[in-house]
Structure 1
C-alpha cells in the first residue's frame, strides 16, 4: 500500500510579493499602490503568510507597521529574488516582442512633450510599437512592465539618459503681455501655478527679483495641461517649463514678455532597466535627442 503524506508547499507568490513590497517600501498602503490592490488585501496576504511561517513579520501600531527582527533578516533575500524575477520577466517580454516599447512618463511630459514627437518617432523607428502610460512618479522598472522611464531628474545627477535641460519662465497670452514690463509687475497679476511644480515661482523669483520675497496670487492646478490651457485663455501668467510650452511659444499663442528665464533644477531624462539588451532603447533615446 502506497503512502502519500501531505507534501510541503511554498507560500503563495502573492503573499511573498505583499511582504517584500511592504517591507521594502515601509508600509501596507505603499505596497498596495505598487501592487495595484487595496491595503486590506496586502494586510490579509501578510497575515496569511505569518500564519503559514508561524511568526510575526511586522509589528502593528497606530503609526503604521515596522519589521520584526525575523522580517528584517528575511527582507534582503526577497528583494534580491524579486529583483531577479523582474529582470527575467522583462527579458522574456523583450525577447517575445523586440519591436514593442512601453514608456512610463509624467502626465505633463506625455501630453505636451512626448505626444507631439510620436509621429516623428514612428517615422524614425519604423515597425516599432510605442505605448505610453502617464504616471506621477518614476516606476520601479524591476517591478512593473515598462521598458523606459521618461521624467524630470535632478540635473546634478550624472544621467547618461539625459535628453535636454529645461528653463523656467513666466508666459502668458499675447493680450496680457503689455501689462508685464518688469518682474515686479507680477505682484499685481493673476499667477497660474502647477501643484507639482509650485516651487518654480520661487526658483524663478530668486534670480529675476534678486532674492526678494514673492508670493504668487492665483489658482493652482493639479494637471499641468489645464494650467497651460488657462494661460492660453488669458486667465493669468503661468510659470512654465519651456520644453512643455515650446510649441505655443513658436506659434505665438503664448509669449514670454520678460525674456529668457532661469535654468530648471531638473533635466528631462530617460532610462531603462540595466542588464537588458538596450539596443532599441538607445535608438529611442538618440531619436528623442535629435527631435528636441
Structure 2
C-alpha cells in the first residue's frame, strides 16, 4: 500500500497579503487602511507568518518597522503576484456582472462633474448600472474593486484640462475690477487645494504679496455653493465650475487663467475590451468631458 507523505502546510494567504501591503506601503497602519482591517490585525498576521517561517521579515524600530534583507528580497515577487491576483479577480467580476460599471473619484468630481452627466449617460445606456464611490485619493486599481478611476493626475485619458481662475456671484463681481481688488473681499479656500490661490496670484499679481482672507472648507462643493450665494470669491477648477458658469450662478471676474499640469483623467488598470460596458462608459465620458 502506497504511503502518502505529509503535505507541507501552506502559508496563510491573509498573512502573506498583510506582509506585502505593510512592506510596500512602509508600515502596518497604512497596510491596515488599504486592507480594511485594524493595525493590530496586520501585526498579528505578520507575527504569525514570521513564526511559521522561523525568520523575521521586519525589524521593529523606534519609528515603526523596517524590512529585513529577506523581506526586501521577496517583496517584488509578492507585489507582482498580488497585482496579478487582483487583476484576475477584476476580470472575474467583469465577466460575472458585465453590466455594472464601478467608478472611483473625488467627492467634488462626483458631485460637480459626474452627477450632472449621469442622466444623459443612463439615457444612452439604460441597461448599464453606474456605481460611483467618492474617495480622497485614487485607489490601486490593480487591487481595488473599481473599473475606472477619475482623478486629477497624469495617468489615463484626459477628459478636461485643469484650469484655475477666481469665480464669484455676479453681484460680487461688479465690485472687482482688477485682481488687486481681491484684498477687499472674502476669498474662499478648499482645504484640499489650499495652494491654488498662491499659484494663481503668482500669475495675476506678479511681485505682489497676496494671502486669501476668508473661510476654509473641507468640501469643494460646499465652498462652491457659498460662492454662488455671494459669500466670497472661490478659486474655480474649470471642469467643476462649468455648470455654474453656464447657468450664470457664477462668473469669472478676471481674464487670467492658469493651467495646472495635472488634468482630469480617466484611468483603468487594464486595457478595455471594445464594446464592453466599461469601455462604452469610458468612451462616452471622454466624448462629453470637455
Q: CA 1:211/1:129 → structure 2, altered by over 3 Å: closer, same or farther?
A: farther
Please tell me whether the aligned partners of residues 204 and 256 of structure 2 are also in contact (alpha carbons under 8 angstroms).
no
Q: CA 1:160/1:124 → structure 2, altered by over 3 Å: closer, same or farther?
A: same
The 1-side partners of 2:223 and 2:196 are apart by: 14
The 1-side partners of 2:123 and 2:37 are apart by: 38
The 1-side partners of 2:227 and 2:168 are apart by: 6
Equivalent in 155, 164, 167 of residue 168 of structure 1: 164
* 1:25 alignment partner in structure 2: 25
Q: Which runs of 5+ in 2 are unaligned?
A: none
The 2-side partners of 1:83 and 1:200 are apart by: 35
Q: 3-state DSSP class of the match of 2:165?
A: strand
Listed one character per residue, the Cα deviations across residues 10-66 of structure 1 (whole Å, up to 9, x for unaligned) are 121111110000111111111111101111111111111111111111011121111
* 1:149 alignment partner in structure 2: 149
- Residue 289 of structure 1 and its aligned partner are, at CA, apart by 2.6
Q: Which runs of 5+ in 1 are unaligned?
A: none
The 1-side partners of 2:187 and 2:216 are apart by: 9
* 1:287 alignment partner in structure 2: 284
| 1:28-47 alignment, distance < 5 Å | 28-47=28-47
The 1-side partners of 2:197 and 2:90 are apart by: 40
* 1:130 alignment partner in structure 2: 130
Q: 3-state DSSP class of the match of 1:50?
A: helix
The 1-side partners of 2:202 and 2:97 are apart by: 48
* 2:101 alignment partner in structure 1: 101
Q: 3-state DSSP class of the match of 1:166?
A: strand
Aligned-residue CA RMSD in angstroms? Answer: 1.9
Q: Tell me, yes or no, if structure 1 residue 202 matches structure 2 residue 198.
A: yes
TM-score by length of 1: 0.93
Please tell me whether the aligned partners of residues 205 and 211 of structure 1 are also in contact (alpha carbons under 8 angstroms).
no
Q: Tell me, yes or no, if structure 1 residue 212 matches structure 2 residue 208.
A: yes
The 1-side partners of 2:79 and 2:163 are apart by: 38
Count of aligned positions: 288
The 2-side partners of 1:278 and 1:207 are apart by: 43
Q: 3-state DSSP class of the match of 1:265?
A: strand
The 2-side partners of 1:198 and 1:183 are apart by: 18
Q: 3-state DSSP class of the match of 1:65?
A: strand
Listed one character per residue, the Cα deviations across residues 158-195 of structure 1 (whole Å, up to 9, x for unaligned) are x5511111321111122211221110011122110111
- Residue 282 of structure 1 and its aligned partner are, at CA, apart by 3.3
Listed one character per residue, the Cα deviations across residues 58-83 of structure 1 (whole Å, up to 9, x for unaligned) are 01112111100111111111111101
- Residue 244 of structure 1 and its aligned partner are, at CA, apart by 0.8
Please tell me whether the aligned partners of residues 91 and 276 of structure 1 are also in contact (alpha carbons under 8 angstroms).
no
Q: 3-state DSSP class of the match of 1:266?
A: strand
Listed one character per residue, the Cα deviations across residues 73-114 of structure 1 (whole Å, up to 9, x for unaligned) are 111111111011111101111111122110000111001110
